[in-house]
Amino acid sequence: MSTFSETAWLCLAVPAALGGIVLYKLKKSPGQVGRKVVCLAGLWAGAYLLSLSLFWGWVLFPLSCFLMCAYLSGHEFLPVDQKAVLITGGDSRFGHALSKYLDELGFTVFVGVLNEKGPGAEELRRTCSKRVSVLQMDITNPQQIKDAHSKVVEKVQNRGLWAVVNNAGIIGLPADGELIPMTNYKQCMAVNFFGAVEVTKAFLPLLRKSKGRLVNISGMAGGVPMEKLAAYSSSKAALTMFSAVMRQELSKWGVKVSVIQPGGFKTSIAGTSEMWDKLEQDILDNLTPEVLEDYGQDYILEQRDYLKFISRCNNIDMSPVLLDIRHAVSAKSPFAFYSPGAMAYPMLCFVSFSPTGIFDYFSKKLHHFRGSMPKALTKQA
């Protein structure tokens, strides 16, 4: 009985101690660190609750401690020390908020915007310090990337560029993959993938010189299949894989590569109502009579309601994303993957480890959109 009590107390004390460390660290750490350490604490507690033998308990104990130390050791932030960061897509939301956040932390920030005379660019000039430079930078325009590169080189000179954050992206109008025009597939790839690759290639010599950071903003949809996002998801999946390969190749240069896969945040990536009108018309103009007859115009015009549906479910608080990007830019040992957002990490794990049939079933339940059915299927019913 005495042995049992000592074992029970040990098994309960270890997760309590780990939890205390987490509470202490969480004041300054991104949620990613806290979640993983809590998982390690849960692993140890679960060993006791599942009545594993004392032997396995002692195996899990040093393993948990080792993994905890490995994660927390990378939490320490490097000094800002006039480090320079380039951010694309700074006109609004993630890129806009990140530019302000890094400016407050003391970084020199170069913000690439789609329209240097737009309201987002003007607000940055008005509210940020002189450390922030707003650059005209349509990432699908090679000449604008070259011009931005020249301006960055001129300003940083021998200091080099510490980090590039590829944030610019578009989503288009969500619709069934068969309905999305090829122009929309190509546009998503041009912005979300090829644009990020071209920016990366242009600024990599500067990153190699500083042994800095490459941070690519992908998305949960780049790892989790989601209906109506075939064009967007494919481009983000390409960016995620590109990042993984670059992480391996650039390690010999001392450059660290991270991917941010946010899930469930409200952004302006979907565009405006006027853009939706144009995309709807593009869909209708590019469909064959047979496909239009099978789906029906009413079903097609209802697709924009999906954007309103997911917008209502999304979080307006972007701080988890900003904290994870800061960790990727500043931590001594940044993670390869970050998944800010309530559902992002569980869903990425679920799709990786569950059988396809089970994932598809629960995915339909979790992301069920109560829209109408295609016209041909309605007739069959």
Provide the annotated active-site residues: 232
The position carrying tokens 């546009």 is 187
The position carrying tokens 């007739």 is 379
Q: Strand, coil or helix: what is 130?
A: coil
State whether the Cα torsion 167-171-172-178 is positive or negative: positive
For residue 40 the two structure tokens come to: 């390690």
Question: What are the angstrom distances between the C-alpha of 165 and each of 57, 240, 254, 311, 370?
Answer: 42, 14, 17, 25, 36
Nearest to 335 by CA among 215, 250, 172: 215
Q: Evaluate whether 48 touches 8 at the Cβ level (below 8 Å).
A: yes
DSSP secondary structure of 228-254: TBHHHHHHHHHHHHHHHHHHHHHGGGT
Q: Which residues contact 55 (CB under 8 A, 6 or more apart)?
A: none
Q: Evaluate whether 196 touches 260 at the Cβ level (below 8 Å).
A: no
174/137 Cα distance (integer angstroms): 26
- Provide Rg for the chain, Cα atoms: 23
Q: Evaluate whether 215 touches 163 at the Cβ level (below 8 Å).
A: yes
For residue 276 the two structure tokens come to: 């939706």
Question: Burial code of 31-54, b = ≥16 C-beta within 10 A, e = fewer?
Answer: bbbbebbeebbebbbebbeeeeee
The position carrying tokens 């029970």 is 8
DSSP secondary structure of 290-332: HHHHHH-HHHHHTTHHHHHHHHHHSB---HHHHHHHHHHHHBS
Q: Strand, coil or helix: what is 62?
A: helix
- Name the helix (H) or strand (E) containing 358: helix 356-366
